Amino acid sequence: MPANTSVQLTTNNIGNREDLSDMIYRVAAEDTPFIANIGKTTASATYHEWQTETLASPNPANAQTEGNQNLNNNSAPNLTTRVGNFTQIYTKVGEVSNTQQTVKSAGQSGSVSRQKLLKGIETTRDMEARMVGNFASLGGATRTHAGALAWLTSNVSRGSGGSNGGFSAGVVAAATNGTQRTFTENLLKAVLATGFGNGAKPSQAYMGPTTKQAFSSFTGIADIRVDSDGKSQANIVGAADVYVSDFGNLTLIPHPYGLTRDCLLIDPKFWAVSTLRPMKAEDLAKTGDALAFQIVGEATLECRNERGNGVIADLS
């Protein structure tokens, strides 16, 4: 039975207050696992340099005559290689009107502080995506640093038509993408075997979500089942966190917004974020009825020796 026309209802009342929660729910990938796991160091110039070295191949025919003075058997000197990467300026700009800072709003007390926080998170995500990716370095006023995938040339597996980038003549070139192929355990094993021969001992594997699901089906995965107490069925774990290889364990780390076609194998001690200017928030000159600010920092990626890492590229 309908209500009488004399009844005051919520649908016809003018003065009901709104019901707006003070909570704001954000859904976005905020993790920066690559930056979080590698080393930290300091840069002092816009072109940051370091040195790498290796050893001569083992020589099983190394036999000398007794009493030989070795005067005519000199071996080549062990010389270092000098490599470097440009620093890159990361920045985000925000602005909040003075009126917005004054009015009462739900869940946004301190609008400027909140915007600085969000822009800071976004800037760090930008840095993560650059440092883990296949990006070349470039000098000049608008400098860019190379990403991890661009450095790797020794322990690599690429699809047909793909080619290495790598460091040469002061800059790092990006790798050339090849034909994409299915990720298989044999591809992984081949890179691990090559890397072992080069002295590489990667302990972490970074990959996108599709590659992570393929990786979890490999037979070398550890602990895919959890013991039951005898009163219930055993649980099968759908995600694998560790891969047990012939050359050591790999911790599997899914990357939420990078590495869509690559599986990056790293030894964290061979990578570092080198900071020239730490990330900070700076207020900008006031030119109108608003408060403007920028998040700014300058850093580069230090690849301490690319031979200690590997990549399975061009995965579908």
DSSP states of the chain as a string? -PPPTTS--TTT-S-PPP---S-----S----HHHHHSEEEE--SSEEEEEE---PPP-TT----TT---TT-PPPP---EEEEEE-EEEEEEEEEEHHHHHS--TT-SSHHHHHHHHHHHHHHHHHHHHHHS----B-SSS-BPPPHHHH--SSEE--TT-B--EEETTEEEPPBP---B---HHHHHHHHHHHHHTT----EEEE-HHHHHHHTTSTTBS--EE---SSSPPEEPS---EEEETTEEEEEEE-SSS-SS-EEEE-GGGEEEEEEEEEEEEEPPP-SSEEEEEEEEEEEEEES-GGG-EEE-SB-
| Domain-located, residue 106 | yes
| Domain-located, residue 12 | no
| Domain-located, residue 67 | no
**Domain of residue 100, residue span:** 33-50+80-312
The pLDDT value recorded for residue 16 is 73
The pLDDT value recorded for residue 238 is 44
In which band, very low, low, confident or very high, does the pLDDT at 310 lie, cut at 50, 70 and 90? very high
The pLDDT value recorded for residue 236 is 43
In which band, very low, low, confident or very high, does the pLDDT at 13 lie, cut at 50, 70 and 90? confident
| Domain-located, residue 74 | no
Query: Tens digit of pLDDT for each residue in 65-77?
Result: 887 776 656 677 8
Query: Tens digit of pLDDT for each residue in 169-180?
Result: 999 999 999 999
| Domain-located, residue 28 | no
More confident residue, 51 or 221: 51
| Domain-located, residue 286 | yes
| Domain-located, residue 188 | yes
| Domain-located, residue 75 | no
User: Number of structural domains, the chain?
Assistant: 1
In which band, very low, low, confident or very high, does the pLDDT at 223 lie, cut at 50, 70 and 90? low
